[in-house]
Structure 1
Amino acid sequence: MALPDTAPLLVGLLLLFHAFGAWAIVEVTMEDKVEVMAGETAQITCMFTTDEGLGGTTIQWFYVPPNKERQRIYNKEPMHEAAEQNTLFTHRISLNVNGTAAVLAIRDVGVRDNLEFICVIKTLTPEEAEGRTQLQVFKSPTFPTIEAVETGISVNEEAPSKIGSCRVKNGYPKPNITWYRNNMPLRNTPREVVVTSSTTIESSGLFSVQSELTMKVKKEHKDAVFYCEVIYFVPGATKMTESQHINITVYYLPTEVNIWVESPKGKIKEGDTLELRCDNNGNYPSSITTIKHQNSEYSVENKTMVRTNVKRLDGGVYECTFEETDNFEEISGSTKVSVNYLESAVITPKDSIAVMEGEELKASCNALSSLQTSTTWFKNEKLVSKGNTLSVKSATLETAGMYKCVVTVPEMEGMKTSSTLQVNVKGSPQILGPDVQEVETYETTVNLTCSATGFPAPTIMWTTSDGKNLNALQTETEDGAQSVVTFKITSNVKVFCNASNDFGSKVVEFNIKTILNTTLTTITSMPTISTTTRSTTTISSDTVVHTTPTATTTTSTNTITDDTVTQNTSTNYVNDPVQTPTKSPNIKKESKGFVIAIIIIAIFLLAILGSVLYFLYKKGRICGRSGKQDFSKRKSSKDNIVVEMKSDNTEEAILLGVNGEKQQPNDQ
């Protein structure tokens, strides 16, 4: 085998070197420490030099257990290398030799690998050298947790009181905890600040640290912020993390008590809801707060008092008392409450007043109030006066009526009171409307209304022009009386409303005109000798005209204005000089509006027809002959009716007057 063949050669070389007295020189260089985070791979480098070269070099690695001899974990000879069995690193290490650098790699390091490692270099000669490196493993701790005391702390405690505790887990190396108050670090101070810490080594070899802060609490600590800071190490650096911030409850006695009106804001009036609040600048658990009304001894054991619908007697001084129940110490504060009021308005004279017409009217209105008031007077919702006094120098019937006095408080909205005064003016009655009233109607009955003012309330009587008394219903109004009568109409008539009282009377006249339906009349005429006679009759204003016809058969056209009846008839008369007109049995009653329209149209047509006939008459064309027939006009009243009749068989023109008498042309 190769090894037995080379062994004598090596031995010979050693003897040769020994004979000449020349030993090989070996040097090893290593870092003092190697830092790595737990769970990562650590690499420890061993740099060496030797005169013999690498062929006969042996490399060995050892670690030093706590309080024990070193133990080899890896051996590399010129012809063989392997990790030692049954060690902590058997399956986690490997060696990489590159020239004069031997690098030991340790996988998945943990805090238990925080050991010293030794690299030994040997040559063929008895010379050897070694180097040492400390492997340092780091593990970041968890986020710190902090807990404050749940109960309050009294400033009266003589010994320091526990503020809170801070804890951090699973760090390596051991983390450090520092307490802060308002960003200022807290250090141990006798009888003032005490910080105690305890460390726990977990089964994994990691460190858990807990710190507790106790201190002497003062009043100014009630708003203080406390937290803890954790400092831990990582490869090549130091890191820090802060816990959450906490506050503590500090109990201390007050030095001042305040009580105030929470609502309403501003001035208070009767009817409001009053809310009082009480507070103090202390904080003590065993205490009683009481609010008391000094005037009525009304009190509540609370920091809030609510009183609804307050009255003026609810005003006054309210006191709030703080009592510490441990030592029965008291401290109090007070405030004054003013409840403004406005009493009901009072008018003098009360309810009503009566003055003579022409006399002076005076009334006053007042309302007792805690604040300045303003008074106004109204009549029919219209402002008539300002100020407490209502004054009218010369009263008239128009002065009478209901007056309202309104009293308000300008500086407080909603404070208002009012009262009313009935003013009556003594005097003769006055009837509303004109002295004479025209009434036209188609109805058979009419309702007449008469309203009179005056005081005392007038009595209203109804009479007609023919001396009849009418029964009517009378009702009193605010300023007089009103009467309504239902009157049956038989003809045009006058009705009188007479209002009277102790100071006189007043009469108003109602002229009632009835407008009846159109009445048709028959106009009698005497026939002439001729067989056919055509006549034209013009009649105006309530006139019935009797004509004497000159023929057995006569066709007549009668036009009647205003209330005159128009009729077209064909009648046979024999030697009957006068015939009484009769109503036509075939005439139907039309509606009133239709009759009025027919009458207006008829009047209009008659006016046109009359103009045309007059024009033809003047020209002589209406006489039936070539020559003109001139008639001299004669003056007549509007009630005279002129009837012109022309016959086809005679040239004689016969003019009839209103009495049916024959008139000569020169009489016209």
Structure 2
Amino acid sequence: MEPPGARAPRLLLLALLLGAHPGVQAAMQVSVAPLVEVMRGETVTLDCTPLGDYSQYQLKWFLADRSGTRHLLAEAQVQGSEVQARVHASRGRSPPYQLQGQGHLVLVEAQVKDERDYVCVVTAGAAGTAEATAKLQVFAKPETTDVSPNLGTLSVMDDSAQEIATCHSRNGNPAPQIKWYRNGQPLQVPMEVNSNSYMTSRTVREASGLQSLTSTLYLRVHKEDRDARFHCSAHYRLPRGQHGHLDSQAFGLTLHYPTEHVQFWVDSASTTEGWVREGDSVQLVCRGDGNPTPEFTFYRLQGQEEKTLSTNLHGNFTLEAVQRNQSGTYGCRALDYDAAEEAELSQTLGLRVAYLDPIELSSKEELTVTLGSSVTVTCSVQGRPAPALRWTKDAAPLADGPTLSLSSITFSSAGTYVCEAYTPTVPLLSRTRALKLLVEGVPELMPEKIQPQSGGSWREGDEVRLVCSARGYPEPKFIWSEKGESSTEPVPGGQGWVRSSLTLKLTSAMSQRGVFCEASNPHGSPPPAPLRPCCIV
């Protein structure tokens, strides 16, 4: 028997002789893609091609399990253009494996459990045997990214990291990476537990082979986080080096933080430059920057003493129909036992109530003066802040100030004068007082017209309407020199004018002597005014 050690040199020598012989074929090689990537549910084809011109060879596909054991899946005998293919076992796969062409292994509807090493072995007679392995990787985009925030109240006074939220990414492959964000910016959170920030992760492989990932974020919260928006995002890989991500909905936190500052102000529709109008309802508003809202106490300073007005949680106190004697200093204090010693928990403000008393006139509200005379009337008012005064007539301004002075009074001076008191700093606060001025004297007479117009001539017996007007106080009475149907009425917008009309039938005598209109009152009468219908034919 030949010793075992003597055989190795002979085999090596045989290999060298074969390699040096020009008629011997080189060692066989096969071409297989070492890594094949596919999306879950797609069909994938594993190609195995001998490198060289072989008219006859045998091709086998094996599935290598995780222990390294190979399981024959399919084989093909190739002779020229003829191929005899056979699938040996699908090992429970549905749909089963397929062998197409000259030994292409086809997997329909790729699943995560198809992620294995597939070994192609080719034997070609004297050329020998060659094999190559294709690693199949199946990708699955996660279905959703959900977040479950902590719905409790987190205290900023806690000096350790607290649970913020848990993020769930379901049914992906490979397992995604979960990242956390604050106001759109990524958080650099370690996996190691510490007092400031960390996160924990757990991956579960589902029965389908897909992977679900859970990540829980822990942070030490601060007051600045009260308005922050957090979210998580699952970052996943895709074939050919592509990437994607799925974001959760954003969420906020409910924080407990002590009050540091208090704001106190007056909220009233009539507030102008710190004034409120007497009679209005005035709301005092107090707000703190702590959460939960502290209890607020409203008070009024009277001398050195505080008079408590109200204590409540909503931070509002209303003075109904505020009066001038309620002007003064008011305060608000927040009661927060968690606040720091240096916190500003109390504020005061000055409430100034603007008012106007009724206007007083230096004369009666109805004043009678003589035609041609002069008159001076003043108005006065008490108010705070100091009001301004002005006089108007028929909405037209006359004079600024308390004094109305009229000289050389005419009947046109008669009418209603208004003294207005107003406060420029409180536009909605004003008062008015009216003065009615009556001017007495001999009436002023004015003949007006003859109706209808005749183009210069009438016929005897024509009926005409004669009109004349007068003004004065007391109101004048009219007398006509002819008899007829007469009436008297005020002239609309006529500044004290009254109008008398006479309807009669014309005669030649009237045309010659005219018709006279006379107006009189207790002060006398002016010369009669003639109306002369001419040219009676």
- What TM-score comes out, normalization by structure 1 length? 0.54
Alignment of 1:233-632 (within 5 A): 233-243=237-247, 244-263=249-268, 264-266=270-272, 267-280=275-288, 282-285=289-292, 287-294=294-301, 297-299=308-310, 301=312, 302-324=314-336, 331-348=345-362, 364-376=378-390, 387-388=401-402, 405-419=419-433, 432=443, 597=507
- Greater strand fraction, Structure 1 or Structure 2: 2
**Comparing both chains, which one has the higher relative contact order based on Cα–Cα distances under 8 Å and sequence gaps of 6 or more?**
2
Partner AA of 1:332 in structure 2: S
Matched with 2:208 is 204
Aligned CA-pair RMSD: 4.8
Cα distance between partner residues in 1 of 2:91 and 2:412: 129
Cα distance between partner residues in 2 of 1:405 and 1:49: 115
Change (3 A) 1:322 1:395: same
- Deviation of the 1:167 alpha carbon: 1.2
Matched with 2:133 is 132
SS of equivalent to 2:187: strand
Cα distance between partner residues in 2 of 1:374 and 1:90: 97
Change (3 A) 1:67 1:423: closer
Change (3 A) 1:402 1:85: closer
Matched with 2:171 is 170
Change (3 A) 1:401 1:38: closer
- Deviation of the 1:369 alpha carbon: 1.6
Cα distance between partner residues in 2 of 1:355 and 1:600: 40
Matched with 1:66 is 66
Change (3 A) 1:150 1:91: closer
Change (3 A) 1:320 1:240: farther
Cα distance between partner residues in 1 of 2:33 and 2:100: 17
Cα pair 2:271 2:277 within 8 Å, conserved: no
Cα distance between partner residues in 2 of 1:245 and 1:431: 90
Matched with 2:197 is 193
Matched with 1:588 is none
Matched with 1:37 is 39
Cα distance between partner residues in 2 of 1:201 and 1:397: 107
Alignment of 1:77-92 (within 5 A): 77=77, 81-85=85-89, 87-88=91-92, 92=96
Cα distance between partner residues in 2 of 1:63 and 1:144: 34
Cα distance between partner residues in 1 of 2:42 and 2:168: 26
- Deviation of the 1:156 alpha carbon: 0.9
Counting aligned pairs with the same residue, the percent is: 24
SS of equivalent to 1:112: helix
Cα pair 1:406 1:417 within 8 Å, conserved: yes
Change (3 A) 1:26 1:307: same
Partner AA of 2:75 in structure 1: N
Partner AA of 1:257 in structure 2: V
Partner AA of 1:236 in structure 2: R
- Deviation of the 1:146 alpha carbon: 2.2
Partner AA of 1:597 in structure 2: T
- Deviation of the 1:327 alpha carbon: 7.7
Cα pair 2:139 2:237 within 8 Å, conserved: yes
Cα pair 1:31 1:133 within 8 Å, conserved: yes
- Deviation of the 1:340 alpha carbon: 1.3
Cα distance between partner residues in 1 of 2:410 and 2:512: 53
- Deviation of the 1:135 alpha carbon: 1.9
Partner AA of 1:270 in structure 2: E
- Residues 181-238 of structure 1 show CA distances to partners (whole Å, capped at 9, x for unaligned) of 2413322262111111111111101001011101100112223332223222222214
- Structure showing greater radius of gyration is 1
Runs of 5+ unmatched residues, structure 2: 1-13, 446-469, 485-502, 514-537
- Deviation of the 1:350 alpha carbon: 7.4
Change (3 A) 1:315 1:84: same
Change (3 A) 1:212 1:253: same
Runs of 5+ unmatched residues, structure 1: 1-16, 435-450, 454-478, 485-509, 517-591, 604-668
Cα distance between partner residues in 1 of 2:410 and 2:105: 130
Change (3 A) 1:513 1:196: closer
